[in-house]
Amino acid sequence: MLIVINPRKIGFHAIKTAALSLVLAVSFQVAAQNDKERVENIEVFGQKTTPQLKRAFDKQRFEFLELYNSINEIAKFDVICKYLKPIGSQIARKSCEPRYVKDFRVMQIQTSSTGVGIDLNRLPSDDDIRFLTNDTREEAFEHVAALIATHPELFDSFSKLDALHQRIEQRKEDN
């Protein structure tokens, strides 16, 4: 490439700027060609931390439950989620339980209440409620399994949930 510059028509400053531009353009071309020759491939492998996996699991669990509730047609098997603050904490956590457990708990509270108030000593514990609703729980598991088997989108959501659970369990075994 030959560039002819007439110094009489252009000032010295313009000549200097044009020459500098030409040098920079040529050097950028040479640098670009050298970069093409020396390309490095860098592969980065990362893993989520256990807390990140647990947050992803909780998010996927709530998405699964929301999808399940939209598909489920039997009211007693609906899963009801709400935010609760544990005693002594201001941090609300999302807690879910099946409607049949909530209904049973309400029935037990009504049965144990007296005219004046509720006798807390007569209320069953969560373990007692789990034992007393065992037959309904097994029926609910069968119902969920049937819905997962017949609805592909629910199966996909459950598969993602199971994969996250497996990764969390693998981390526990590795540590």
Cβ atoms 84, 92 nearer than 8 A: yes
E strand spans, 113-167: none
Reported as a single tens digit per residue, the pLDDT across 15-66 is 555 554 544 455 555 555 555 667 777 777 778 888 999 999 999 999 999 9
Indicate the number of domains in the chain: 1
The pLDDT > 70 percentage for the chain reads 73
Residue 68: inside a domain? yes
Mean pLDDT throughout 112-139? 78
Q: How long, in residues, is the chain?
A: 175
120-147 mean pLDDT: 86
Q: Distance (Å, rounded) from C-alpha 25 to C-alpha 32?
A: 11
Domain range for 109 is: 50-174
The whole-model pTM stands at 0.65
> Does some domain include residue 38?
no
Comparing 116 with 103, the larger pLDDT belongs to 103
Q: 68, exposed or middle or buried, with CB in 10 Å at 0-12, 13-18, 19+?
A: buried
Residue 128 lies in a domain: yes
Q: Is the pLDDT of residue 160 over 80?
A: yes
Mean pLDDT value of segment 120-140: 83
- Tell me whether residue 7 is in a domain: no
Query: Would you say residue 4 lies in a domain?
Result: no
Q: Comparing C-alpha atoms, which of 80, 103, 82 is closest to residue 92? A: 82
* Residue 67 forms part of a structural domain: yes
Does a structural domain hold residue 19? no
